[in-house]
Structure 1
Amino acid sequence: MADEMVRRAQNFINTTYHGKLGIDPLKEDGETSWAVMFALTRALQYELGITTLSDTFGPTTLSALETKYPRINASTPLIPDFVGIIQSALYCKGYDGGGLDTMWSGRVTASIEKMAVDMGVGGAFPDSSSLYPKMFKSLLTMDPYVLVNNGSAEIRTVQQYLNGTYVNRKDFYIIPCDGHHSRNVAKAMILAVQYEAGMADGVANGVFGPGTQTALRQHAVGEGDSGRWVALFSSAMVLNQRPAVLQHYFGASLTPEVRNFQAFTKLPVTGKGDFSTWASLLVSYGDQSRKGEACDGVTKITPARAAALKAAGITYVGRYLTNPSTTSLPEKAIQPGELQTIADAGLRCFPIYQTYGRDASGFNYHQGRAAGQAAVNAAVDHGFKAGTRIFFAVDFDAYDYEVTDSVLPHFKGIQDAISADGNQFQIGVYGPRNVCIRVSEAGHATASFVSDMSSGFSGNYGYPLPPNWAYDQIVTRTIGSGDGKIEIDNNIASGRDTGQNSFNRPRKLLPDVRFDGRFLNALHDDIGTYMQSIGFPNDGGNKIFTHTQCFETILAQDDLVTALSNRYSMRKALIQTSAYWEMRHYDIVDQAVDAAVVYYHTGVGGGMTPKRDSSTGIAQISGDVGIRAWNHCISKGYVSGTTLNPEKDPDIWTMWQKVNKDNAFSIQTVALIHLWDAESKPNGNNPPGGETVLRPMRLDYTEWEIFQVLRRYQGWGKEAEEHASKRMGLYQVFEKYNGIVRNLAL
């Protein structure tokens, strides 16, 4: 909401420091923002005589301020513009700036005193009516010092306590007092522990290192203890959203809450603030010396490794359903016979699904739909039984807005895919605490596998362990020796998920067969459901063909598609997906362009601009692309025929008419284009640097290879990438039913 005094502050900056700060003029919209705070920081630096201006209020700015103005109050000789900076900052923080008249008045003093109280530092400095350098630094931030967004009063009390107690230590800076745990609050807690342990300024660094851990081992607290160690321990309980308050005496009421926390986190239930409890309260990974009952890893479980895991107390083993890479981590995905080895050793396996999603761009609704069906297909292939929970990975530091914008829609897509498949599998989420909490609260997952080992993730800082946590990943370690040696991520298990210890017979890698008519209606409906979910109504909407028309046209070529699949070791779903997708996109613009091509080559028609070539027919193939794909495949011996010249109009017209009028020829050409695509589209329209050469076409292409083939069919660039990610979901639906049918044929 716009604020007139903030607008005046923006105007003050623009008029007073025009051309002096190295930034563009501020937008005078009356809204506080980091841009305004950065501008005020630069203005302060300018007035302090700093020549290299920066958005950052760093050590140089603080040192200059401490040297020139160790305290600022009504009696400090200040130029008017310097006062104007303070008044502007006060208004931007929500305090009275005294009318922004560049005069230090009693109103300014009252606001400084009020802010100091809000910060918790009212009694920390000699004069409560003065603005001290660390207060000035905090004044030029967006940090609030009052409760905001349903903040906790108990957490705010902790924040104020930390500020008031430690603000005079060299490396401790004022933290927000907004009632919300955060990265800065977590660091402040560790600094406080280090200060109480006697670490000097410059040694205390807010890192949970060996020295800090040693100090905590020496300062266990329990019922009857008192002092600052108890205050910090109870503060840590508050920050972890336990029902406790900051207290300097460890009373009888705190003991059961500690016991509850220990039971929840699977620590020894002692009721005391021992090292393991301190560690779990202060950092996401807690006490890394703990031995977990679970693990996950990227290495095949052999009999020797299974024995080593069993000897180390492991019961639950997390393994990956797929591996998108063809070159790295060759044992990442579950290997043939591995699940039986796990079961024979008395271990249990929980499946994990992860592709390349290392940033928010890999997460959206349609990619979630594809991921959900791909995971189901892979789980069935491996032999996981109905009821198994699949953990879908979010393996990056997702900020809260990215969870909202990308991760939650992605998991809605996963949930919809699992539901469309009949809910034979449950959904779990792997990721930082905030991701797990929000995905679960949205109803998209029933258990969490928490990546607490990534303690630096913003989604782990300041968030409690999710209520539905099943596995808590805390450290990587190597166990066993010789043939049994294996590196694992050690996980604490809560018992909310127990994996599986018996499995169906895994499905073999089989060639595709003719489609079984008993599944036609189910396939028809599932494809329709998926396409509707990404914006394609079954009645065709603004396209020429309905879903049913496209489906029947493609499935009418099933004998040919099956023969092409067997001839080229190419999954039927690749051919079906490209053809169906292109036919569903055919619209009146495409019709008009096709007419323009006919007019160019025959003179029939008129009233339009003639066009030499276009993507046409059910598979939207141009004469140029058709010629180049056929020429390549003829040269490779994949198909026989006469080569054509894409530079000659008669040859373009010959190919164009075939792909326009002959559905069978178009379907065959789809397969040839895929072969051409996989071999880097030589002599084609490639991106700068060309396409990479994929492995020769094969039935066990990885998801990455499938994506590449589907993307290359359309070309390259952003649109091709976006369409290919949507085609992946369609591919997985086709592959689901093709997989069912080929295994029924055994």
Structure 2
Amino acid sequence: MSDEKVLRAQRFVNSTYGDVPGITRVEETGVVDWPTLYALTRALQYELGITALSDNFGPTTLSTLTTKWPSIDAGSTVPANVIRILQAALCCKGYDSGDLDGTFGARVAAAVREVKADSGLDGPYPGDAVVPKLFKALLNMDAYTLRDGGNETVRAAQRWMNASYVGRASFFVIACDGSYSRDVQRALLFAVQYETGMTDDVANGVFGPGTQAGLRSATLSVGSTGAWVRLFSAAMAFNRRRGVAFTDTFDSGLAVRVSVFQQFVRLPVTGKGDFATWASLLVSTGDTSRAGTAADCSTEVTAARARSLADAGYQVVGRYLSNVPGTTLDKMIKPGELRVMAAAGLSCFPIYQTNGAAASYFTAEQGTADAADALYWARYHGFRPGTRVYFAVDYDAVDSEVTTGVLPYFRALKAAIDADGAGYRTGIYGPRAVCARIGAEGLTSASFVSDMSTAYTGNVSAPLPEDWAFDQIATISVGSGDGAIEIDKNIASGRDRGQISYDPPAAATDPDVRFDTARRTAALTDVRTYLLSCGLPEHGPGDPTPTSTTVTSTADSTTAAFDALITYDAVLTDLARTLRMRKALIAARVLWSARTGTAIPPKTAIAARNHCVRQRILRGPILDAGDPADVRAVERKLGDDAKFAINTTAYALITTAHDLGLPRPGLADTPRSTHRLLGDPALLGLYQVLEKHYAPLRTAR
């Protein structure tokens, strides 16, 4: 909403500094934004005589202001435009500083007193004088009053930190809006370092060895008092622990809430503010030296490695369902690997990631495609229905990107998995904030948290999601010799224990084989009987005596059409094995088309082949369905080349599955997904008749 006071500030900076090199005119909207604050910052630098103007109110600006005008009030001799910049900054913060008249009058003084009280600076900086750190604080987007969704306990801690530490060299005024942020988290770490005794030239706001050593000597328990308890209760409040008060006394009530937190993050429940608890409150990984019972890795878990992991106390291991097309990284579960793990007592939770490392990846269309691919590979490896697959958001997605991309992706993903009807479940791998938002929408049932990315904004200022299953905290090596393996160590909540029993891997033990012609009579009898029940007799109206053996146009009879399948059985079998889908699915569509004259239209064939080229299923050029030459060429091939027509039938089935939001056709498809794919109950019946005769041949190999 436009604010007249902000509009005056924007007009002032444009009219006064719009022609100064290095100061860009701002839009006069009446709405506070960064360009306006940057312009005011540059204007102050210009008045200070700084020639290299910058958006950043950095050390040079601060030191020059401290030297030139260390305190600005009604008695100070400063240029009128500097007062106007101050008045404009106060307006942008929402304080009434009067007209931009360049006078440090009563309204400016009152506004300064008000902002000091709101930010906790009225103690260290009493009165109405503006000190350099306050001027810096006025030229950013931080708020010093409670914002919508903010928490009063958090705000109390923010105000206390400002009051207690603003005099330290590297501590700057933080927001007092009741919300936890990256800047507040860093300020908290500075405060912890100051309390450990670090000097200004040593403290750096990083959870490093020195900070950790200091915290190991700062264990709190019932009866503890002072600044350490203030910081600890602030950290608890920042992590959104319910019922925590900002206090300087560690009482029994705080001890109970600490115990609840320790149980939640799977720490030893002591009720004390010990090092491990401090670490879990201050940094996303927590104490990286603590033991984990879960792991994830991109290398094969051999028998020797499985023994190493089990001996080290690991119980469940995350492994990748598939490789990434077009890359050489081989991270996929290997044949027999899951059973090797199970023999060592290790269960497995599956991870699906082909990309997911940029905002551009996340669309609804990609979600539908990834669901289909993940379901295919889950069945391929033998994961049973009920297994939860974790889909990766492997970058620091900001909130707006979650709204526009990640949420639509997971909505489409979950819809496709639910539509499959087999009971597979959806999980998410990603930063805390992203996991929490997707979970809150009901789109996932558990989170695998990428807490090793400690610099991610989505991890820095967000608590561990309530639905966390695995918490990734450190990359380590386990075992030696043949048993050596590099893993990411995870803490397990127990929400997901993985899988330890598997169906036979579909493609490894159950591919289709060549048709046994000794079964021709029985199979043909069943096919003829079934098609007759569908209104398709041996000879359709006007059919000549059976002579044709083509499968690319209307066959003369059911016998001719079925014998054509036998003629091209090698093509059908090899195609089904290559695409890892059921031969009966392709054959049913081919046979039905032959008996009903419903051949694939050329433009449909082009769309199907193009989709499979894009999915790296098929190699070849992208054709243009709007180009008559391409359409005629495909039409000729469909009529003249039986192998081309059979292949295109399979590609059309894959494309139809994608268009319907179904998994890619596989070797363990459910009747429900097959029915939806074929669309026509009659076609499903024909599929089942053919499968009746194909399936025994697979098991009799």
Q: Work out the CA distance in 2 between the residues paired with 1:154 and 1:666.
A: 75
What does 1:408-419 align with in structure 2 at a 5 Å threshold?
408-419=407-418
**Alignment pair present for 1:659 and 2:667:** no
Q: Work out the CA distance in 2 between the residues paired with 1:122 and 1:727.
A: 66
What does 1:7-406 align with in structure 2 at a 5 Å threshold?
7-125=7-125, 127-242=126-241, 243-325=243-325, 327-330=327-330, 332-406=331-405
Q: Work out the CA distance in 2 between the residues paired with 1:663 and 1:463.
A: 57
2:349 partner SS: strand
Query: Cα distance 1:423–1:112, how it changes in 2: closer, same or farther (>3 A)?
Result: farther
Q: Work out the CA distance in 1 between the residues paired with 2:570 and 2:369.
A: 23
Deviation for aligned residue 1:24:
3.7
Aligned 8 A contact 2:171 2:187 in 1: yes
Q: Work out the CA distance in 1 between the residues paired with 2:642 and 2:124.
A: 79
Q: Which residue of 1 aligns with 2:420?
A: 421
Deviation for aligned residue 1:50:
0.7
Amino acid corresponding to residue 132 of structure 2 in structure 1: P
**Alignment pair present for 1:446 and 2:445:** yes
Amino acid corresponding to residue 86 of structure 2 in structure 1: I
Q: Deviations over 1:30-81 (max 9, x none)?
A: 1110010011011111111111111111111111111111111111112221
Q: Work out the CA distance in 2 between the residues paired with 1:178 and 1:382.
A: 50
2:457 partner SS: coil
Q: Work out the CA distance in 1 between the residues paired with 2:149 and 2:661.
A: 45
Aligned 8 A contact 2:276 2:286 in 1: yes
- RMSD, aligned α-carbons: 3.6
Q: Work out the CA distance in 2 between the residues paired with 1:51 and 1:134.
A: 21
Deviation for aligned residue 1:568:
11
Query: Cα distance 1:567–1:429, how it changes in 2: closer, same or farther (>3 A)?
Result: closer
Deviation for aligned residue 1:121:
1.1
What does 1:501-516 align with in structure 2 at a 5 Å threshold?
501-508=500-507
Q: Which residue of 2 aligns with 1:430?
A: 429
Q: Work out the CA distance in 1 between the residues paired with 2:283 and 2:215.
A: 13
Amino acid corresponding to residue 334 of structure 2 in structure 1: Q
Aligned 8 A contact 1:394 1:431 in 2: yes
Aligned 8 A contact 1:305 1:484 in 2: yes
Q: Work out the CA distance in 2 between the residues paired with 1:167 and 1:121.
A: 8
2:185 partner SS: helix
Q: Work out the CA distance in 2 between the residues paired with 1:315 and 1:659.
A: 54
Aligned 8 A contact 2:17 2:23 in 1: no
Aligned 8 A contact 2:372 2:658 in 1: no
Q: Which residue of 2 aligns with 1:523?
A: none
Aligned 8 A contact 2:255 2:271 in 1: yes
**Alignment pair present for 1:566 and 2:574:** yes
Deviation for aligned residue 1:572:
8.5
Q: Which residue of 2 aligns with 1:702?
A: none
Aligned 8 A contact 1:565 1:571 in 2: no
Amino acid corresponding to residue 269 of structure 2 in structure 1: V
Query: Cα distance 1:275–1:617, how it changes in 2: closer, same or farther (>3 A)?
Result: closer
Deviation for aligned residue 1:662:
6.6
Deviation for aligned residue 1:573:
8.2
Q: Work out the CA distance in 2 between the residues paired with 1:562 and 1:409.
A: 42
Deviation for aligned residue 1:342:
1.0
Q: Deviations over 1:169-218 (max 9, x none)?
A: 00011111111111111111110010011111121000000000000001
Amino acid corresponding to residue 336 of structure 1 in structure 2: P
Query: Cα distance 1:77–1:348, how it changes in 2: closer, same or farther (>3 A)?
Result: same
Deviation for aligned residue 1:377:
1.1
Query: Cα distance 1:7–1:350, how it changes in 2: closer, same or farther (>3 A)?
Result: same
1:189 partner SS: helix
Q: Deviations over 1:127-179 (max 9, x none)?
A: 43111111111100011111112100000111111111001100011111111
What does 1:551-630 align with in structure 2 at a 5 Å threshold?
563=571, 566=574, 571=579, 617-620=603-606
Q: Work out the CA distance in 2 between the residues paired with 1:23 and 1:665.
A: 71
Normalised by the length of structure 1, the TM-score is: 0.74
Deviation for aligned residue 1:619:
3.4
Amino acid corresponding to residue 507 of structure 1 in structure 2: A
Q: Work out the CA distance in 2 between the residues paired with 1:89 and 1:139.
A: 6
Amino acid corresponding to residue 404 of structure 2 in structure 1: D
Q: Work out the CA distance in 1 between the residues paired with 2:581 and 2:662.
A: 8
Deviation for aligned residue 1:22:
2.4
Q: Work out the CA distance in 1 between the residues paired with 2:480 and 2:435.
A: 35
Query: Cα distance 1:654–1:572, how it changes in 2: closer, same or farther (>3 A)?
Result: farther
Amino acid corresponding to residue 632 of structure 2 in structure 1: Q
Q: Which residue of 1 aligns with 2:665?
A: 735
Deviation for aligned residue 1:617:
3.8
1:317 partner SS: strand
Aligned 8 A contact 1:93 1:144 in 2: yes
Deviation for aligned residue 1:329:
3.3
Aligned 8 A contact 1:512 1:738 in 2: no
Q: Work out the CA distance in 2 between the residues paired with 1:22 and 1:616.
A: 61
Aligned 8 A contact 1:119 1:176 in 2: yes
Aligned 8 A contact 1:369 1:414 in 2: yes
Amino acid corresponding to residue 237 of structure 1 in structure 2: M
Q: Work out the CA distance in 2 between the residues paired with 1:618 and 1:144.
A: 58
Amino acid corresponding to residue 492 of structure 1 in structure 2: I
Q: Work out the CA distance in 2 between the residues paired with 1:235 and 1:7.
A: 37
Aligned 8 A contact 2:375 2:663 in 1: no
Question: Which 5+ residue runs of structure 1 have no aligned equivalent?
Answer: 519-551, 581-614, 626-632, 639-645, 647-651, 675-698, 700-705, 711-723
Q: Work out the CA distance in 1 between the residues paired with 2:16 and 2:514.
A: 78
Q: Deviations over 1:75-102 (max 9, x none)?
A: 1112221111111111111111212222
Aligned 8 A contact 1:367 1:729 in 2: no
Deviation for aligned residue 1:430:
1.1
1:318 partner SS: strand
Aligned 8 A contact 1:288 1:475 in 2: yes
Aligned 8 A contact 1:478 1:487 in 2: yes
Deviation for aligned residue 1:737:
7.0
Aligned 8 A contact 2:507 2:667 in 1: no
Deviation for aligned residue 1:3:
0.8
What does 1:626-645 align with in structure 2 at a 5 Å threshold?
none
Q: Work out the CA distance in 2 between the residues paired with 1:220 and 1:419.
A: 48
Q: Work out the CA distance in 2 between the residues paired with 1:324 and 1:406.
A: 21
Amino acid corresponding to residue 735 of structure 1 in structure 2: P
Q: Work out the CA distance in 1 between the residues paired with 2:278 and 2:55.
A: 37
Q: Work out the CA distance in 2 between the residues paired with 1:19 and 1:562.
A: 79
Query: Cα distance 1:571–1:480, how it changes in 2: closer, same or farther (>3 A)?
Result: same
Query: Cα distance 1:347–1:398, how it changes in 2: closer, same or farther (>3 A)?
Result: same
Deviation for aligned residue 1:567:
6.6
Deviation for aligned residue 1:278:
0.5
Deviation for aligned residue 1:657:
3.4
Deviation for aligned residue 1:347:
1.3
Q: Work out the CA distance in 2 between the residues paired with 1:32 and 1:62.
A: 23
Q: Work out the CA distance in 2 between the residues paired with 1:11 and 1:291.
A: 60
Deviation for aligned residue 1:109:
0.7
1:459 partner SS: helix
Q: Sequence identity of aligned pairs in percent? A: 46
